[in-house]
């Protein structure tokens, strides 16, 4: 899916790695896809959540188990909830 088609979606790029705080500040919406590719964002996310502790501000997606990454368990403990999704079934396409 194109990033331009989904409002609030932002994929990770070099800006996320070189300036994580600026990347978050420049976000229009809450969705960050494949967060495990930019662990540099974790500290910036923690600081943002600590300063504005409103639930649901960010939706992080990952294709890896984030809790196995050392920096995630330390920086986002108590600040995130993990929801495991099942793969789509053929019947889901026509539901």
**Judging by DSSP bridges, how do beta strands 31-32 and 59-60 pair with one another?**
parallel
Q: Which residues 6+ apart lie within 8 Å of 33 measured at CB? A: 9, 10, 11, 12, 61
- Looking up tokens 């990770």, which residue turns up? 12
Long-range contacts of 78-83 (CB under 8 A, 24+ apart): 79/45, 79/46, 79/49, 79/50
State the distance between the two ends of the chain, measured CA to CA, in whole angstroms: 20
What confidence tens digit (pLDDT) does each residue in 53-92 have? Answer: 888 888 888 887 777 776 665 667 777 788 888 887 777 7
Residue-wise pLDDT for 17-35, tens only, equals 788 888 888 776 778 888 8
Query: Could you tell me the residue ranges of all domains in the chain?
Result: 3-80
Does this model's pTM top 0.75? My answer is: no
């Amino acid at each position: 899916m194109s990033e331009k088609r989904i409002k609030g979606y932002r994929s990770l790029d070099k800006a996320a790695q070189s300036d994580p705080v600026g990347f978050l500040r420049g976000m229009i919406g809450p969705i960050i896809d494949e967060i495990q590719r930019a662990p540099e964002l974790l500290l910036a996310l923690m600081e943002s959540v600590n300063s504005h502790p409103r639930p649901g501000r960010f939706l992080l997606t990952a294709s890896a188990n984030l809790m196995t990454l050392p920096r995630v368990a330390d920086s986002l403990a108590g600040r995130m909830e993990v929801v495991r999704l099942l793969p789509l079934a053929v019947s889901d396409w026509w539901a």
